[in-house]
Structure 1
Amino acid sequence: MRPLFWGRLRTSGRSPSLARPVFWTALVAAAALPGAVLATNPPTCQVVAAQMPGRVIFPSDPAYSAAQSSYYAGQARNMKPGCIFMPTTTDEVSQFVKMVGARNQPDAKFAVRGGGHTLWKGAANIDGGITVDMRLINATVLNADSSVASLGAGGRFGNVYHSLKPHGLTVLGGRVPSIGVGGFLSSGGMTFLSRRHGFACNSVVGYEIVLAGGKVLHVTQDSNPDLWLALKGGINNYGIVTRFDVATYPDKMWYDLVQYNFTDAILADQARVLCNFMKPGPTFDPDAMMGLFLDFAGGAFFVRNALWHTGGDANPLVYKPFTDIPNMGSSGQLLAVADVVDQFGANIPPSTPRAFQLDWSFVNPPAEVYVELFKIWQDGVKALSDVQGFFVEFLTQPQAVVQKGTQSLYGLEAGRTDYVMMLMTAAYANAADDERVRVGITNIVRAQRGLLRRKGYLIDFVYPNYADKSEGVFKSWGADSVAKLQAASLKYDPQGIFQKRVPGGLKVF
Structure 2
Amino acid sequence: MKSIAAWGTLLEFAVLAASFSSALADGPAGATSTCNRLAGELGTAVVVTSGDDYNNASADTWSLFNAEARPSCVVLPRNANHVQVAMQAIYEDKVRYAVQAGSHSAMRGWNNVNRGVLISFDYMKEVSYNSAKNTVTLQPGIHWGEAITALEPYGITIMGGRLGDVGTGLLLGGGLSYLSPAHGFSSDAYVELDVVLVDGTLVTATATNQYSDLFRALKGGANRFGIVTRYEVTAIETGFSGSKNWYGGLIAFADDAAPALLEATAKYVREVNDPNAALLVVLGYQVLNGELFPAHAITPIYRGPSLPTDVFGDFLSIPSVFQQVGPLDYSEVASILGAGADRGTGQLFGASAFTGDNVTRYHSAFTHWQNFTQTFKDELSGVVLAFTPVADSQILAGRARGGNVIDPPLGGYAAVQFHTQHLPGVTVVSPELELGRKLYLSQIPRSPGLPLYINECDASQDVFSTYGQYEFLKQTYKKYDPTRFNVRFTDGPRGL
**TM-score range normalised by the length of the shorter chain:** 0.7 to 0.9
**Aligned with 2:77 (options 65, 87, 110):** 87
Per-residue CA shift, 1:17-50, capped at 9, x if unaligned?
Answer: xxxxxxxxxxxxxxxxxxxxxxxx9711111111
Deviation at residue 57 of structure 1 after TM alignment: 4.7
**Cα 1:122–1:167 shift into 2, 3 Å:** same
Q: Check if 1:286 corresponds to 2:275.
A: yes
Alignment of 1:471-490 (within 5 A): 471-477=461-467, 481-490=469-478
Corresponding position of 2:268: 277
Please give the secondary structure, in 1, of the residue aligned with 2:233: strand
Partner of 1:356: 348
Cα displacement (A) at 1:477: 1.9
Shift of 1:242: 0.5
- 1:407 paired with 2:403, answer yes
Return closer, same or farther for 1:329/1:122 CA change in 2, 3 Å cut-off: closer
Secondary structure at 1:111 match in 2 = strand
Q: Which amino acid aligns with 2:220?
A: G
Relative to structure 1, is the Cα distance of residues 60 and 286 closer, same or farther in structure 2, using a 3 angstrom cutoff? Answer: closer
- In structure 1, how many angstroms separate the alpha carbons of the residues matched to 2:275 and 2:232? 24
Tell me whether 1:376 sits opposite 2:368 in the alignment.
Answer: yes
Aligned-pair distance for 1:296? 1.5
Q: TM-score, normalised by structure 2?
A: 0.84
Summarize the Cα distance change of 1:300–1:103 in structure 2 as closer, same or farther, 3 Å threshold. closer
Q: 1:433 to 1:490 in 2, by over 3 A?
A: closer
In structure 2, the CA distance between the partners of 1:57 and 1:229, relative to structure 1 (3 Å rule), is same
Change (3 A) 1:435 1:338: farther
Instruction: Kindly indicate whether the alpha-carbon contact (under 8 Å) linking 1:273 and 1:321 is maintained by their aligned counterparts in 2.
Output: yes
Q: CA deviation at 1:126?
A: 0.7
Q: What are the within-5 Å matches in structure 2 for residues 10-409 of structure 1?
A: 43-104=33-94, 108-145=95-132, 147-181=134-168, 183-223=169-209, 224-251=211-238, 252-263=245-256, 266-280=257-271, 284-297=273-286, 298=288, 299-317=291-309, 318-346=311-339, 348=340, 350-387=342-379, 389-399=380-390, 401-403=394-396, 404-405=399-400, 406-409=402-405
In the alignment, residue 273 of structure 2 is paired with which amino acid? F
Is structure 2 residue 414 aligned with structure 1 residue 423? Answer: no
Structure 1 pair 218/310, CA: closer, same or farther in 2 (3 Å)? Answer: farther
Q: Deviations over 1:357-413 (max 9, x none)?
A: 1011121134444333322221221111222x4311111220253114442322421
Shift of 1:310: 4.6
Over 3 Å counting, the alpha-carbon distance change for 1:368 and 1:362 in structure 2 is closer
Distance 2:370 2:305 in 1: 36
Q: Does the CA-based 8 Å contact 1:162-1:338 persist in structure 2? A: yes
1:440 correspondence with 2:436: yes
CA distance in structure 2 between the aligned counterparts of 1:284 and 1:394, rounded to whole angstroms: 23
* Distance verdict in 2 for CA 1:144–1:198, change over 3 Å: closer
Task: Report the aligned-residue RMSD.
Answer: 2.3
Q: Give 1:292 deviation, angstroms.
A: 1.7
8 A Cα contact 2:32 2:72, kept in partner: no
8 Å contact 2:266–2:359 — kept in the other structure? yes
Paired with 1:130 and 1:94, the residues of 2 have a C-alpha distance of 13
Q: Which amino acid aligns with 2:390?
A: Q
Residues 149 and 246 in structure 1, CA contact (< 8 A), matched pair in contact too: yes
The DSSP-based 3-state class of the residue aligned with 1:386 is helix
Shift of 1:442: 2.3
Q: Is the 8 A contact 1:237 1:507 kept in 2?
A: no
Partner of 1:29: none
Alignment check: 8 A CA contact 1:191 1:200 kept: yes
Matched to 1:398, the amino acid is P
CA distance in 2, matches of 1:158, 1:97: 29
Q: Is the 8 A contact 1:174 1:190 kept in 2?
A: yes
The percentage of aligned residue pairs carrying the same residue is 22
5+ residue gaps in structure 1?
Answer: 1-40
Give the Cα–Cα distance (whole angstroms) in 2 for the partners of residues 293 and 68 of structure 1. Answer: 30
What is the rounded CA distance, in whole Å, between the counterparts of 1:311 and 1:141 in structure 2?
A: 25
Alignment partners' CA distance in 1, 2:194 and 2:377:
46
- Counterpart AA for 1:350: D
Give the conservation status (yes or no) of the 8 Å contact 1:192–1:289: yes
In 2: Cα distance, 1:232 partner to 1:378 partner: 34
Where does the alignment leave 5 or more consecutive residues of structure 2 unmatched? 1-30, 239-244
Does structure 1 conserve the Cα–Cα contact (< 8 Å) formed by 2:74 and 2:120? Answer: yes
TM-score between the two structures when normalised by the length of structure 1: 0.82
What amino acid sits opposite 2:492 in the alignment? G
Output the amino acid matched with 2:477.
S
Q: Give distance in 2, aligned partners of 1:247 and 1:338.
A: 18
Is the 1:307–1:319 contact (alpha carbons within 8 Å) kept by the matching residues of 2? no
* Residue identity matched to 2:161: G
Q: How many residues align?
A: 448
SS in 2 for 1:332: strand
What is the CA-CA distance between 1:157 and the residue it aligns to?
A: 0.5
Looking at structure 1, the residues matched to 224 and 365 of structure 2 have their Cα atoms a distance apart, in angstroms, of 35
| 1:460 shift after superposition | 4.5
User: Residues 80 and 162 (structure 1 numbering): CA distance in 2 closer, same or farther, change over 3 Å?
Assistant: same
Write the deviation string for residues 82-105 of structure 1: whole angstroms up to 9, x where unpaired: 01000011122122223332335x
Return the letter of the residue paired with 2:354.
F
1:343-369 CA-partner distances (Å, limit 9, x unpaired): 4125x4512422221011121134444
| AA matched with 1:294 | L
Change (3 A) 1:126 1:433: closer
Rate the CA distance shift 1:437–1:146 in 2: closer, same or farther, 3 A. farther
Change (3 A) 1:309 1:145: farther
User: What is the Cα deviation at residue 216 of structure 1?
Assistant: 1.7
Q: Is the 8 A contact 1:211 1:240 kept in 2?
A: yes
